[in-house]
Structure 1
């Protein structure tokens, strides 16, 4: 399957164009660049990245020799994400997805983060160079196409410790740290999650925002009810309650899910962008290993609950930016519908 996916991707994009390498004619020595069609294909893969409430809060600008990533503050969720931290993490995830997409299409990505201090919404500039895809590139490209958020219960089959170490090690190369939450500390996540659900249930602004970004009315963004299971009252760490949940989840056994926290020593915009890339790398590595995943961030939108997690789980050594639940989906689980995405031309500024 990996080979067929890869062939489909590579056939879609052009190989690096030939160019004249004549040192006596400098004007003919422009660096090679991918075609517009290749760039659009890479961006179509990049926007498959997860984002808070599937808001897809990014804009892309295509230049002659680079792609610029911009945050889209018009898609800021004021109640769920008051400090815009999760918006920037979402954009960082799309940036890493773009790296993976370009690599499998034959281009390396040189990323400059926050290139303009006067434009804080200009998050990154990505320049290109020809690149021969490796086997890892191909496998991560396949994982990018396969990954999706699965909020259902997982199997009681434990995840090998080696898998968790591999995921943490490979994801942490992008500037953030991945911390596994062992069973002895997992109870410390329960109260912040439960408190977040209780407080949000009593917050009319949050409920209006949640209703606007989830349910059956969303067609190009937001969280569709068809991918949201009804809440399990027995879950000690509850998931966010979206609108119009209709997904049937018959899994009733206690699962062996593991929890990972993506964290950073600082809490500025650059740290959040790095956390987003690390989150994407974690999710794709987990998918490559056959695991399912669910990104959960609800308590992180409430400063005091985020501080609780920072103290109780991270011992005040780092700021939590994202939390991921990993596990094995039951073998009899039905495939999920694909989460919607906006048309690529709707997120490109030329």
Structure 2
């Protein structure tokens, strides 16, 4: 393995820790001598929860950003090209001063934290840092005001209720919950929380049973803040995933716990309510809950697929993936960019 290939292999290895919808990890890396190509793994799609593959693309975008950060932290320049098939190509450039080493170090420590958040509230300085990280990826971050929380809560509750009655969706979520350890994916019960009243409801991964964390009524996210990831451009889900990754890694560095909430973007009508709530003509991609857990210590890590399943060496003539696009006017690769 050449030194360049080793840099790309390390990046793909760290990218396995990226967040993904239901921890499906729906990506494949194909690594050559100087480049790494990212493609979606359509065998891990969610036809009921994510029929348009939007959240699959967002997940792949998070993995793309993780990989880019890992390369830059190793002291290499990298060019990012986004497209449709492949979704992205990373091309190594010459050696450079290591950058984003703090973000790279946070990759294996980041967790989706579904525990209750206490009364301490993330300050405006932290929100400003998160906004800056998101803006570097071409997106915006809109904090939800306190007076807007009732609308956010009502819309989330209604979206969850409607989703529970969508044919096949509940069984699909159950399929990806508490899977056998050897699968290396899905949502372990140990990382979920018992369904209870919160300021804004969260997805119940195990209806009728207890989750891994018990939540008291006295600590129901009283200090949590909620932010909406949005863009001026529709259907730029891959870039939205990169912005989510930047937000989560920056929050981890700042000691803030996060849990992405996708319920309001999984169907058109709740997404339109979210658009109304943020008061913009932009396009919302995700809600993220921020705060400080009542419990000490980190939550359990979610499982990860073996590297041999997600990373391949050499390129194949993969066929295009209908429906998996990045809202690009060009059918192949575009938008070369040296940023993470």
Shorter-chain TM-score: what band?
Answer: 0.7 to 0.9
> Which residue does the alignment assign to 1:349?
312
The match for 1:253 is 219
> For 1:205-236, what per-residue CA distance to the aligned partner results, in whole angstroms no more than 9, with x for missing partners?
0011011111243541111111001111x213
Give the 3 Å change call, closer, same or farther, for CA 301–250 of structure 1 in structure 2.
closer
Structure 2 residue 71 is matched with structure 1 residue 106:
no
- Listed as ranges, the gaps of 5+ residues in structure 2 are 314-340
Equivalent of 1:86, from 40, 55, 62? 55
Equivalent residue, structure 1, for 2:101: 138
Report if aligned partners of 1:226, 1:245 keep a CA contact under 8 Å in 2: no
- Are residues 1:45 and 2:14 paired? yes
Report the structure, 1 or 2, having the larger helix content: 1
* 1:225 equivalent in alignment to 2:189: yes
Kept in 1: contact 2:228–2:288 (CA 8 A): yes
Residue 266 (1) aligns with residue 233 (2): yes
The yes-or-no answer on 1:64 pairing with 2:33 is: yes
Q: CA deviation at 1:250?
A: 4.2
Structure 1 pair 335/286, CA: closer, same or farther in 2 (3 Å)? Answer: closer
Instruction: Find the partner of 1:305 among 265, 270, 280.
Output: 270
Deviates more, 1:244-253 or 1:78-87: 244-253
**Structure 1 spans left out of the alignment, 5+ residues:** 1-13, 15-32, 115-119
**With structure 2 as the length reference, what TM-score do the two structures score?**
0.85
1:124-178 Cα offsets, whole Å, 9 max, x none, are: 11011222214xx221112112111000111201211111111111221111111
Q: Once the 2 structures are TM-superposed, how far is the Cα of residue 184 of structure 1 from its aligned partner? A: 2.2
1:328 paired residue number: 292
Displacement of 1:109 in angstroms is 1.9
CA distance in 1: counterparts of 2:215 and 2:297, whole angstroms: 11
Structure 1 position 246, deviation (Å): 3.0
1:71-107 per-position Cα deviation (integer Å, ceiling 9, x unaligned): 1222111111122111111111111101111122222
Distance in 1, matches of 2:85 and 2:150, equals 37
Q: Is the alpha carbon distance of 1:113 and 1:216 closer, same or farther for their aligned partners in structure 2, counting shifts above 3 Å?
A: closer
| Rounded Cα–Cα distance in structure 2 between residues aligned with 1:341 and 1:74 | 16
- Find the residue that maps to 1:145 and give its secondary structure: coil
Matching residue of 1:194: 157
Q: Which has the higher contact order (CA 8 A, sep 6+)?
A: 2
1:7-26 superposed matches below 5 A: none
SS at match of 1:196: helix
What is the Cα deviation at residue 245 of structure 1? 4.8
Structure 2 distance, partners of 1:111, 1:62, is 14
Alignment of 1:113-152 (within 5 A): 113-114=82-83, 120-129=84-93, 130-134=95-99, 137-152=100-115
Inter-CA distance 303–121: structure 2 relative to 1 (3 Å threshold):
farther
Residue 314 of structure 1 and its aligned partner are, at CA, apart by: 2.5
In structure 1, the residue matched to 2:323 is none
CA distance in 1: counterparts of 2:3 and 2:115, whole angstroms: 40
Q: Choose the corresponding residue for 2:302, options 325, 339, 344.
A: 339
